[in-house]
Amino acid sequence: MSYMITSECINCSACEMECPVRAITAGPSQYVINPNVCIECQGYYPEARCKWACPVDACVPERSSYQFRSASLTNRGAPPVVLTADHPTGVKRMPIEVASE
């Protein structure tokens, strides 16, 4: 498990300085915690240090549904809607060859 930062984040950077394992970085629109690095401050502090530091209570234990919905739409893996002359309102099938990696 790890902590996460909600969209309440006001980009103050307080948590970034406090985190003992440097799990927190500035993301495109707010600070983010790398869940692979966060250890919930076990062995360092009695409670999560970011939660202690955050002025707006944005650091909370991770909830996957929140993470999912707060990601931008395309980041959730939505397929492109492809418009062509024959399908002016969009096709599901990829009309050209694309290498999916």
Partner 1 sequence: MKNRVVVVGGGWAGCSAAMTAKLAGADEVIVLERTDGLLGTGLVGGIMRNNGRYTAAEEMIAMGGGQLFQVADNTARHSNFEFPGHKHATLYDVAKIEPAVRRCLLEHGIEVWLFSRVTEIIRQNGSIDAVRLENGIVIHADMFVDATGTVGSQNYCTEHGNGCVMCIVRCPTFGPRVSLTGLVGIPEKAGRKKDGSIGAMSGSCKLNKDTIAPHIREQLEETGLAIIPIPEHLVNEKKLGTKACQQYALKEYADNVILLDTGQVKLMTSYMPLHELRQIPGLEDVRYEDPYSGTIGNSMRYSALSPRDDHMRVIGDVDNLFCGGEKAGLLVGHTEAMVTGALGGHNAVRAIAGRELLQIPDSLSVGDAITHVREAMKTDEGMTEKYTFSGSIYFKRMKERGLYTTDHDRIAERVADAGLTNIYSQRVL
14 is an interface residue for ligand SF4 by CB under 6 A: yes
| Minimum distance, C-beta of residue 79 to ligand SF4, in the bound complex (Å) | 23
Q: Which of 5, 23, 38, 48 binds ligand SF4 (CB under 6 A)?
A: 5
Write the binding mask 15 to 54 for ligand SF4: x where contact by CB under 6 A, - elsewhere.
x---------------x------------------x--xx
Where do we find the tokens 């966060």?
38
Tokens coding 75: 């980041």
Distance CA 84, CA 94 (A): 11
Where do we find the tokens 């930062």?
5
Where do we find the tokens 């024959």?
86
Binding segment (CB under 8 A) for partner 1, from list 12-20, 24-32, 37-45, 57-65: 24-32
Q: Which of 14, 16, 73, 93 binds partner 1 (CB under 8 A)?
A: 73
> φ, ψ for residue 68 (rounded to 5)?
-65, -50
CA dihedral 40, 43, 46, 52 (to 10 degrees): -50
Interaction site with partner 1 (CB under 8 A) = 11, 26, 28-30, 72-75, 77-85, 88, 90, 94-96, 98-101
